[in-house]
Structures are given as C-alpha cells and as structure tokens.
C-alpha cells in the first residue's frame, strides 16, 4: 500500500525551505504527499510550484507576542484551523506528519494528536519558536539543528539531534552560469545581500548609501524583497532582485561574501558552501531574539562577523565589510573545520522510522 505523508509549516520562507528539500526524497519513493498551509501565506506560493504535492489551506492565527486587538480573534482561528485539519487528516489518512514550524503548523500537529497520527517537528534555531513550543507536547519527535536546543525543551526524550540540513541543489550551482545571468565578470569578487524573504528596509538603505564605494570592491547581487527595488540605482555590476528561487544555487556559487540575516537555514547553507558572512540578525523588537542567538553562535565559532541592526550605520557597515574581505581566508579556514555534516538522510530516516 502506498505510504502517505503530510507536510506543514509556513509564515516565512524559512518555514518552508526544509520541506522543499525533503519532499523530493518521498516523491522518488512513491509516497502520496500533501501539504497543509495557510490560505495566503508564502508557503502556498512556494508549494504550488512543486509537482506531485497537493496543497490544502486552513485558517490560522498569527500567535503575536505583542498586544493587538486581532489577538482576541486568533484563538478562534486556531480552533477553526484545528477543525479543518482534523477533517483533512481523516480524508488524507497520512502515516506521518512533518512540521517545519510557523503558526499554521500548530492546528495540524494538534489535529494529528487527536487522530493518533505520529508527527515530527523540526526546529532550526537554538531556541524553539512560539509555534513549536505550543506544538511540541503533541508531537512524537523533535529534530534539532543545534545540540544546545535540548536545554530549551522539557520533553527531552522526544529530542533527536539531526544537525543542519542543507538542500542538495545548493551544491549544484554554477559559477559560470551565475556570472552570465547577471552579466558579471570573473575577475571581480561578488557580494550577495539577502535581507530575508520580505527584505530589510535598514539593510537596503545602508547598502545603497554605500553603493558607490562597494561597487569599487565588488559586483553586487542585492535581494531586497518584494516591492523594494529602486530603479534609479540600476547600473552595471549592481543587480537588484526582489526574490531569487531557481537560480539561487548559481548566485550562491559565484558569491564571495554574503550579508544576511541570521535565520538558521540560510546561515548553515552558507557555512556548507564556505562563504564568509556578515550577519545582521533581526532585533528583539522584530522577533523573539532567535536570530541574535544564532548569530552569536556563528561568531564564536569564527564563521561570521556580526553587526546588530541597532549598530548599523553607513560607516560601520563599510568598515565591517572591508574587514571580512581582508580576513576571508581565516573565515573559510574556520568553516573547513566544521565537524557536522549537512545530510538530509538523518531526517528522512527518522520520518520513515516513526511512520512504521
């Protein structure tokens, strides 16, 4: 009988990327694959492009950490989403649920528990997100990227350290193809700026304020987020894009230095590719502080330099980039000593084991 799996997770690209990496393994083995996500979330756009995966939208709340009148309605949305997921799971009859987190995953994990369907949650950051904290008591197992994460989870018997998981396709990028696509030259280094799936206003502003000086040192790919292109700055050697999907492996392959947030998925991919990094984590006002902890972990290991957004000025950014460039071989040397692997096999094996 054909085995079935339901994936869930959303709210940001980071809550979908790992699922996108795992899905091909189960497609290859003939599993029936479904995805439960939100009605209008980024996960719907990303998953709709994947052949062989059926997408099912449900209602969900946002689980805000700050006061908002919408918080009064969100518990009812979560209850509605749980009811919808409960009915969907009756129809789909999956052998297992795999969740990457995000607020949409909570109703699915809860409904899975009510239907006695085993589930696995994956936590990429050092400290679990709010959605995963709520869902962990109802899950069967919790995969973690950082060993220290076990200290933040009460149900320690559920924790499995699978390490960082990196998409196989990022290793298949072509330097030549990337240079050709962006009309860049081989004899000049490439700087990549990634401000997250929604972009970063502050990072965008500081890059553009330093653009003249930066272009003397680098060719630049600036992933600035939806609606954040500035056409008046268009010029040779400076490529602005809202978002990169299929060509990302080629962009990463040709990159020499990267400026990025400190989401776990991204920074481990850059670590796997040995790309020196400047990490500018989301502030505590913008997040729960998980990226600050991730960034500090990478700084201590010698993989990256860190600038807090509150410290970000035109001059400080330029000085830090210059220092990273001068010490890039030292960063690469440290990254070469990373002892973990980036295999997806451990997660895939656990899913198969728990689904029996």
Alpha-carbon span 294 to 262, nearest angstrom: 6
Check: CB of residue 224 under 8 Å from CB of residue 196. no
For the segment 205-228, the average pLDDT, to the nearest whole number, is 94
Does pLDDT of 28 surpass 90? yes
Other beta carbons less than 10 A from residue 14's beta carbon: 23
pLDDT in tens, 64-105: 555 555 555 667 778 899 999 999 999 999 999 999 999 999
Q: What is the mean pLDDT of the chain?
A: 91
Higher pLDDT, 271 or 63: 271
Fold of 169-336: Rossmann fold (3.40.50)
Q: Is 199 helix (H, G, I), strand (E, B) or coil?
A: coil
Query: Is the pLDDT confidence value at 122 over 80?
Result: yes
Residue 56 has pLDDT above 70, yes or no: yes
Q: For residues 145 and 328, is the Cβ–Cβ distance under 8 A?
A: no
Candidates 222, 303, 318; CA nearest to 262 is 303
Q: What percent of the chain has pLDDT above 70?
A: 95
Per-residue pLDDT reduced to its tens digit, 243-256: 888 899 999 999 99
pLDDT-derived band at 63 (thresholds 50, 70, 90) equals low
Of 166, 160, 100, residue with least CA distance to 340: 166
Nearest C-alpha neighbor of 5 from the set 182, 16, 158, 24: 24
- Whether the Cβ atoms of residue 112 and residue 119 lie closer than 8 Å to each other: yes
Token pair in block for residue 97: 């649920």
CATH tag, 4-164+342-355 = 3.40.50.2000
Buried b (16+ CB within 10 A) or exposed e, 248-274: bbbbbbbbbbbbbbbbbbbbbbbbbbe
Q: How far is CA 342 from CA 44, 165, 166, 224, 271, in A?
A: 26, 5, 5, 27, 10
Q: What is the pLDDT of residues 258-307, one digit of tens each?
A: 999 998 889 999 999 999 999 999 887 777 778 999 999 999 999 999 99
Q: Check for a shared fold between 4-164+342-355 and 169-336.
A: yes
Summarised one tens digit per residue, pLDDT across range 306-346 is 999 998 999 999 999 999 999 999 999 999 999 887 889 99
Residue 121: count other Cβ atoms within 10 Å of its Cβ: 27
- 160-204 pLDDT, tens digit per residue, is 999 888 888 899 999 999 999 999 999 999 999 998 655 588 899
Tokens 């268009």, residue located: 234
Percentage of the chain modeled with pLDDT above 90: 74
Q: What is the pTM of this model?
A: 0.82
Which H or E element spans position 122? strand 119-123
d(CA 197, CA 335): 25
Other CB atoms within 10 Å distance of the CB of residue 147: 12
- Confidence check: pLDDT of 62 > 80: no
The domains of the chain are located at 4-164+342-355, 169-336
Burial annotation 308-347 (CB, 10 A radius, 16+ → b, else e)? ebeebeeeebbebbeebbeebeebeebbeebeeebebeeb
| Residue 299 and residue 276 in contact, taking contact as beta carbons nearer than 8 Å | no
> CB-based burial of residue 229 (10 Å sphere; 0-12 exposed, 13-18 middle, 19+ buried)?
middle
């Amino acid at each position: 009988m054909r085995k079935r799996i339901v994936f869930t997770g959303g709210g940001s690209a980071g809550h979908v990327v790992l699922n996108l990496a795992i899905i091909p393994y189960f497609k290859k083995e003939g599993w029936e694959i479904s995805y439960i996500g939100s009605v209008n979330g980024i996960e719907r756009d990303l998953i709709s492009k994947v052949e062989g995966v059926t997408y099912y939208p449900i209602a969900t709340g946002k689980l805000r950490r700050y006061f908002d009148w919408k918080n009064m309605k969100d518990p009812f949305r979560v209850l509605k989403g749980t009811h919808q997921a409960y009915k969907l799971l009756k129809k789909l009859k999956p052998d297992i649920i795999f969740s990457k987190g995000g607020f949409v995953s909570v109703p699915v994990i809860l409904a899975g528990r009510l239907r006695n369907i085993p589930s696995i949650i994956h936590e990429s950051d050092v400290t679990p997100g709010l959605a995963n904290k709520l869902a962990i008591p109802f899950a069967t197992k919790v995969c973690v990227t950082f060993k220290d994460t076990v200290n933040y989870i009460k149900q320690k018997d559920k924790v499995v350290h699978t390490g960082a998981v990196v998409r196989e396709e990022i290793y298949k990028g072509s330097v030549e193809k990337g240079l050709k696509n962006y009309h860049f030259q081989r004899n000049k280094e490439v700087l990549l700026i990634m401000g997250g799936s929604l972009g970063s206003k502050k990072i965008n502003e500081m890059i553009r304020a330093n653009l003249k000086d930066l272009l003397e040192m680098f060719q630049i790919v600036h992933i600035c987020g939806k609606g954040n292109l500035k056409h008046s700055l268009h010029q040779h050697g400076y490529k602005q894009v809202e978002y990169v999907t299929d060509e990302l492996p080629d962009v990463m392959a040709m990159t020499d230095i990267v400026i990025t947030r400190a989401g776990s998925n991204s920074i481990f991919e850059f670590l796997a590719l040995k790309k020196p990094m400047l990490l500018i984590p989301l502030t505590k006002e913008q997040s729960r502080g998980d990226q600050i902890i991730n960034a500090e972990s990478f700084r201590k290991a010698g993989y990256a330099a860190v600038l807090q957004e509150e410290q970000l000025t035109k001059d400080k950014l330029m000085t830090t980039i210059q220092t990273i460039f001068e010490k890039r071989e030292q960063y690469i040397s440290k990254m070469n000593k990373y002892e973990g692997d980036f295999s997806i096999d451990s997660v895939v094996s656990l899913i198969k084991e728990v689904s029996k």
